[in-house]
Chain A
Amino acid sequence: MIIELIQTFLLLALAPLVTGIIRSLKARMQGRKGPSVLQPYRDLLKLLYKSSIRSRDSSWVLSIAPYVCMAAVIAAALLVPVIYTGTFGLIGDLLLLIYLLAIVRFFTTLAALDAGSTFGGMGSSRELFISSIVEPTMLLSIFTVGLISSTTDLGGISMNMASTGLDLIEPSLLLAAAAFFIAILAENSRVPVDNPATHLELTMVHEAMVLEYSGKDLALMEYASMTKLLVFFTLMANIFFPWGIATSMDPIALAIGLLAYLVKISILTLAIAVVESSMAKMRLFRLPNLFTMAFILSLLAVIAYYILGVA
């Protein structure tokens, strides 16, 4: 119980740092010095002290959206194994986690329409487009993981996989992981799907939706999306590559788990930074090509499981 809470706190505490590191790495790769990796913490704190401006046209949906989104993301964070395979799995499984994050999507896209701003509508429309086409990929990668470890319980998957050892490196797992990585890019508004650093109306998706927020509301929305990114990273790290995660409460195992987690998250952070620095954002209507590719990867993952599993 304590360990589970601690690892959730760890995740929540690390979330702005991960975003800070990505920004800093990107700055370095672009030949800039960039802000400190701690800048996101300062930004969030600064925003918390500011007052919020809400549109006269908006209703209660916009007012409650930041709180609901934050609560849903924290609930999702409670479910993922971070350094130890035990989680609050009693609440639910991987499917519930995906649907908890769907709450975030539902409220952000709806609240974006609330102020009657064209930017909000545009962001909402595009976000729903992107997340809808990426949803089958998401579910099929989960399906594959479910097939391999015959459960969709997050702790259970980690546990099964971590204890199976290296035998697990199967084509289907790698294919599913590749598909899931593209899904992460899409779900978290990263390049090449969206550019988190832009405010150009032609290209922005996520930023367009949060344009009407300010002060505390904005802080919560930003923090929620940072945490969401780390939740997805953690899923990737501990569901597809769970080696190193602690399977018991043994302090040494926990220390190894923490170390392994930090290493895996660093690799993913670097991967995102490299992708974002080396690729251009794609045109909106070219995105279906990318997602079709991801979908085919996930479908191949399932088929590979059956073909190789039966043989």
Chain B
Amino acid sequence: MLFVSIILTSLAGALLAVLLNKRRAGMLIPYIAAALSSAMLIVMSAPVLLGHGDVILSLPTYIQRLGEFSLRVDSLSAFFLIVMAIVTMCVSIYSVGYLREYENKYNLGRMGFLFNIFILSLCMVFTAGNAILFLIMWEIMSVSSYFLVIYEWRRADSVSSGLMYLVMTHVGTAFIAAAFLLMWTQTGSFDFTSFAGIREMSELSGTMRSGIFILLLLGFGTKAGLVPLHIWLPRAHPAAPSNISALMSAVMVKTAAYMIIRCCFGFLGVTEVWWGLLVLLIACISALVGVVYALAETDIKRILAYSTVENMGIIFIGIGAAMVFQAFSNGDSTIPYLADIAALALVASLFHVMSHALFKSLLFMGAGAVISSSHTRNIEKMGGIGRRMRYTGAFFFVGALSISAIPPLNGFIGEWMLFQSLFLSQTIGDPMVNILIPAAVAALALAGAIAAACFVRLYGAVFLARPRSDHAENAEEASNSMLGSMMILASLCVLTGVLATFIVRIVDKVSASVLGTSIASKVVGGITLSTPDGGFSHISPLAVVIVFLLLLPLVYLLSNRLGGPQRIMREDTWDCGTPLGPRNQYTATGHSQPLIHSFGRYVGVKSEVSETKSSSPLIPARMKFHQEVEPVFERYLYRPIHRAAVELSNRIGWIQMGSIQAYLAYIFVTLLVLLVVFR
């Protein structure tokens, strides 16, 4: 019943957005509807997570062969739904203030309509219990997000980014559809409940399973933005308005993680070790490549989009590790704790799904607020905004701390569990695992450290020091609805970290429903999190906070006791005798130069310094620095494919000669061939 009202509320919101277009209420009511249906989603999913049984809604079906169109909320769905609902609720509140900027520029009715449809389709994707229904919803999600990406269609790059997104997402969908069809040939039904039977089919060959797995990985990897299928992500996410970027980065890409977990553990059963190792390898590469690109960017939203590639990498490192451990524990139950470690890796991954959804939507919202008031996306033209937009700056700071894995915020907890699960891999005596897991540890450490560097740079360039442009100097604080929604997310980032022990209990139930192993009793003890091997490694996020809450005042009091209270004078920054202007400070490009110098060349970042000579050989009249990112993947991977496709079409183009008789002949011949083959 609740489920029906969620759907109806969203649809009503969409309809009202169209009807109330260009009226005052049209900027409010669609988002109230979206927030309302998000709230109802939480109310519906929370009991499922707490173990009160699944919620099932059957939709009327007319074609029996396609199976039963049902929407089902089980633990895994409920977890993703709650994460989604929290984000969509905050984004809805945010949109009310944020979209004021678009008034009289773009059609707000279209935004309200697509916004509601997009959220509804996300909700359906997380709950679809049938492959055909899933594909329909997946398609609605892709198309509605496409229209949202090209919402600002007057901007030069928006339509081309949207087109690339549309193409890539459909390539992905094709692989997914192929995988589902292969599974259908095994079970004869499109229902997910029957797909789950594939796990037990012992007669199914390993090649078939692996084939389906590869198709799924390609299909969902595209949506997740795993390298090298990521190329659409850093274009599409920034092109959309910021509220939509938040939804896409925080929620939409997670649909891929959701389906990979569901399909691999739920349907196929992880039988081969190399699946996990492959996922692990791709995930490590994604994390590293994503973060280095983020460091080379100066467009605030592209930085955040590339950081999404990195974080999806981290999430998939967890999924990959869980697959490796699960495969080993299926093969050999004598090795102790393997099932527990697999569960720990999956819990870490799911925890990071939640953390990333929270902090990335917060960061995109903050970016949106900054962009609206500084009228630029280039961080080289910002600076000093923190003094004008105090609250936005503070909330963005929490997001930056969180994404940099600063304890005890939520980003840290996920990484801690992930590191611990990797550390525990020693019981496996497989050489490949013993080499790849330390490599994954190193990659995760490097990616984490560079991500922190990236967000120090971003926060410093945007919010600190002197303004680098007039717009930045005159930035104005965001509206209350934007600040309110950011405040909710910022406090959730802190709370989910500090109270991680409670969250892990819930996440463990989700992972147990997938893997069949519950580790909550071993991992969570009071206020501490420990590893499930009975070892002593543990952390207590709450204790960390208490220690900080004790130490900070202590340090303050002691240092002010010794030598008397602190006297502070405000003076200019040390300027070596020349008054400092906006240009006498490090630029964001300069700040990341050492790291880019070392790592950039591997991903095609090129820089060039050119000089104009003056009369003195030592002092050039003009120096120019130029840095560009060569689109390596587009150039060396996609362009050859594109060229081959065009070539092939040219070759076989002659059959399309434009005469109707010939076409009729083709149809007739095809029919004959089909009749002969499938008689």
Contact = CB atoms under 8 A, between A and B. Distances in A.
B416 interface: yes
B537 interface: yes
Contact of A128 (B384, B393, B453, B466): B453
Interface residues of B, number: 87
A121 B583 CA distance: 12
Nearest to B451: A132
B555 interface: yes
A113 B460 contact: yes
A95 B591 CA distance: 27
B552 A68 contact: yes
Interface in A52-78: 52-59, 61, 67-68, 70-72, 74-75, 78
Given A99-B406, A150-B535, A152-B423, A57 B555 contact: no
Interface stretch (B45-53, B186-194, B441-449): B441-449
A92 interface: yes
Contact of B540 (A48, A92, A103, A120): A92
A71 B552 contact: yes
B480 interface: no
Interface in B288-343: none
A48 B559 contact: yes
A95 B426 CA distance: 18
Contacts of A116: 383-384, 464-466, 573, 580, 584-585
Interface string B385-417: 011000001000100010011110000100010
Contacts of B668: none
A102 interface: yes
A113 B465 contact: yes
B562 A57 contact: no
Interface in A207-253: 211-212, 215-216, 219-220
Contact of A135 (B446, B461, B584): B446
A109 interface: yes
Given A45-B563, A143-B438, A125 B464 contact: no
A216 B570 contact: no
Given A91-B543, A115-B465, A116-B466, A48 B562 contact: yes
A125 B593 contact: yes
Interface residues of A, number: 84
Interface in B118-160: none
B450 A132 contact: yes
B473 to A, nearest CB: 12
Given A113-B591, A143-B422, 9 more contacts: A52-B566, A53-B571, A71-B554, A90-B543, A106-B404, A113-B464, A114-B460, A126-B594, A220-B559
17 contacts: A59-B386, A61-B464, A91-B540, A91-B544, A95-B416, A95-B419, A102-B406, A110-B459, A113-B461, A118-B585, A132-B453, A133-B449, A136-B441, A146-B537, A215-B567, A216-B566, A285-B594
Top 10 A-B pairs, shortest CB-CB distance: A121-B586, A113-B460, A116-B465, A129-B594, A48-B563, A51-B567, A135-B449, A92-B539, A136-B442, A128-B453
Interface of B: 383-384, 386-387, 393, 397, 401, 404-407, 412, 416, 419-420, 422-423, 426, 429, 431, 434-435, 438, 441-446, 448-450, 452-453, 456-457, 459-461, 463-466, 528, 533, 535-540, 543-544, 547-548, 551-552, 554-556, 559-560, 562-564, 566-575, 580, 584-586, 590-595, 597-598
